[in-house]
Structure 1
C-alpha cells in the first residue's frame, strides 16, 4: 500500500511539475488512476491483467498524459484543453487599424494591406522588427476572423 501511495504522489507531482496537469480534465485523471491500478496489479504478480489495464489507460489518454504521439497534439475530449481563445474585439480593432482595413475585409484585402505595410516596415528594408511582428500578427488575427466569419 505504501508503494502505491508513493507512486501515486510521484506521478501526480510529475504531471504538475511538467505543466500537463493544467490541461487535464476528469477523463485524463481517471486514466491516470486506472494506470496506477494496473501498476498495482503488476506489482501483485498479475502481469497480464495489469499490463492490459496500463495499455488501456495509455491508449485512452496517452497522448495528453504520457506524452506519446505527435508533439504538441492535444486530444478532443470535452473536459480536456480548450481550443485557442478567440481574440477580443479590441484586439481585432487594433489589427484592422494597423493594417488599415475595414471590418468586412476579405482575405484578398487583408493580404494586400499586409503586403503593403510589410514591404515598407520589414527589418531587411530598415524597418522596425517589432512593428513587422505586429503587422504579421494583425494579418494572422484578421485572416482567422475572416475564416470563421466565412463558415
Structure 2
C-alpha cells in the first residue's frame, strides 16, 4: 500500500507540473484527493478507512472514462441577427467585411483597449467575443 501512495503522490505532482490539474473539474479534483487520502490511510495501516476512498475514486474515474458516458459538444447555434449587428458596430466593420478585415479591425481595436495598455478586461473580452462571433457567423453562412 505504501507503493500505491507514492504512485498517487507522483501522479498528483505530474498533474500539477504539466498543468493538467487546472483543466480538471471540481469533481475530478475531489476524487483525486479522496484517492490520495485513501492511499495514505491504507499505507499507515488503516485499510478500513483508506480502502473505501480508493475504491470510490477508482469507480468514479472508471465511470467517467466509459465511452458511452461522454457527452459530445453541442453544435454551435447560429448567432442572432442583432448580435451580429452589435458585433459589427463594436469592431467598426461593415456587413461586407471578410475575415481578414474583421481580424484587422480586432487587432487595431484591441491594441488600444487591452488590459496591459490600461484598458479593462471586460471591454477586451467583448471585443474578442465580437471577433469570434463574426468569424463563426461568416463560416456558417459559407
Post-superposition CA distance 1:41-92 (Å, at most 9, x none): xxxxxxxxxxxxxxxxxxxxx64x523xxxx6x1xxxxxx751211101111
Q: 1:129 & 1:102 partners in 2: Cα distance?
A: 25
Runs of 4+ in 1 over 2 A off after TM superposition: none
1:123–1:129 contact (8 Å) kept in structure 2: yes
With normalisation by structure 2, the TM-score equals 0.50
* 2:69 maps to 1:66: yes
1:48 alignment counterpart? none
TM-score (norm 1): 0.47
Match of 2:98 among 88, 93, 106: 106
Partner of 1:84: 76
Structure 2 counterpart of 1:121: 113
What is the deviation of 1:128? 1.0
Across the two proteins, how many residue pairs are aligned to each other? 79
Q: Which residue of 1 aligns with 2:129?
A: 137
**Unpaired runs of at least 5, structure 2:** 1-65
- 1:145 Cα shift? 1.3
Deviation readout 1:30-51 (Å, 9 max, x if unpaired): xxxxxxxxxxxxxxxxxxxxxx
8 Å contact 2:78–2:140 — kept in the other structure? no
